[in-house]
Amino acid sequence: MKTPYFTIKDIMQITGVTKRALHYYDKTDLLKPSKIESNGYRLYDQEALGNLQTILLFKEMNFSLKEIATMMKLSKDEQKEILKEHRGTLVQRKQKLETIIDQLDEYVNGTDISQLQLFDDSPIMTIQEQYESEAKFVYGDTSKYQEFETNMNRLSAQDLQKAYQQFSVNMETVFYELAKQQDRSPASTEVQQLIDQWKKQLESFMVCDPEILVCIAETYTTDRRYALYFEQFGDAYFLRFLYQAILVYVQGEGDESSLV
């Protein structure tokens, strides 16, 4: 029986690979044509087609073309050993992707970015660690930050994590209550009492003077990282309402007698 040859068009119809890819594989010696006609047409025999299918299989398994080129020179048994090792890598990636999907869902559903575990087991610092580094960079030379750092250093890692989690829950409670008062004036007694609770939560970690409180309020409204977080509490005007309420509190325009 005469050995059949396939043209590039045939190969494209059989495998779905593009003409450009076949030319690139030829140029890089990954897959050479079995035969080139006098008119320049590239032809591939059944062995070449099988090699192409193996190349496409490895490519789908997330090997680079450089890695595939090396593997194509190995025996089937040697390839299988590499594939067994590669499987472990794919399982780790699968677990990472599952974590990313879970964290994405939590973030979309309103979980604060500081509570996400996305950078665990990563050389990238966690969001909480990034926040701490950012705060130290900006406020590290202030007495207030040094006081905060001293307080944090007294806690174990486990206690610190619990403290952050409880802080997050307490803050969310305050923000939900504030959202219920959004139809009131930011200077109303009810709103200012809640702002006082907000400040007390902050002071579980550090003493907050007026300057720090204003800085936090401005960060809420200007830092895009907070935008999605605050969407869970109120409408599009909630952040502005919160900002105004904090300024009233700082300026002492609320009913201070009710806060004692």
pLDDT of the residue at 48 = 94
3 state SS of 84: helix
* Helix/strand/coil percent split, the chain, to 5: 70, 5, 30
Beta strands in 89-139 (DSSP E): none
Nearest-Å Rg of the Cα atoms of the chain is 31
pLDDT of the residue at 101 = 85
Q: Looking at the domain 6-73, which fold is it?
A: Multidrug-efflux Transporter Regulator; Chain: A; Domain 2 (1.10.1660)
Q: Is the distance from CB of 194 to CB of 178 less than 8 angstroms? A: yes
Instruction: Look at the pTM and tell me if it is higher than 0.85.
Output: no
pLDDT of the residue at 83 = 94
Across-strand partners of 6?
Answer: 44
pLDDT of the residue at 97 = 83
The amino acid present at 32, given as its one-letter code, is K
pLDDT of the residue at 255 = 44
> How many angstroms separate the first and last alpha carbons of the chain?
100
Q: Where are the domains of the chain?
A: 6-73, 75-109, 113-259
Q: Token pair for residue 181?
A: 């008062």
Instruction: Give the H/E segment covering residue 52.
Output: helix 46-60
Q: Is the distance from CB of 253 to CB of 213 less than 8 angstroms? A: no
pLDDT of the residue at 32 = 95
pLDDT of the residue at 166 = 85
pLDDT of the residue at 258 = 38
3 state SS of 6: strand
pLDDT of the residue at 119 = 57
Q: Token pair for residue 155?
A: 């806690």
pLDDT of the residue at 24 = 95
Q: Is the distance from CB of 26 to CB of 33 less than 8 angstroms? A: yes
Alpha-carbon separation of residue 204 from 4, 17, 52, 160, 177 (angstroms): 79, 61, 64, 12, 20
pLDDT in tens, 174-233: 999 999 999 999 999 999 999 999 998 888 776 678 888 888 888 888 777 676 778 888
Alpha-carbon separation of residue 249 from 61, 187, 192, 240, 245 (angstroms): 59, 8, 6, 14, 6
Cite the DSSP H helix spans in 140-203: 143-153, 157-180, 189-202
Across-strand partners of 36?
Answer: 42
- Enumerate residue ranges in the chain where pLDDT < 50: 1, 124-127, 130-131, 253-260
Q: Is the distance from CB of 68 to CB of 58 less than 8 angstroms? A: yes
CA distance 13 to 15: 6
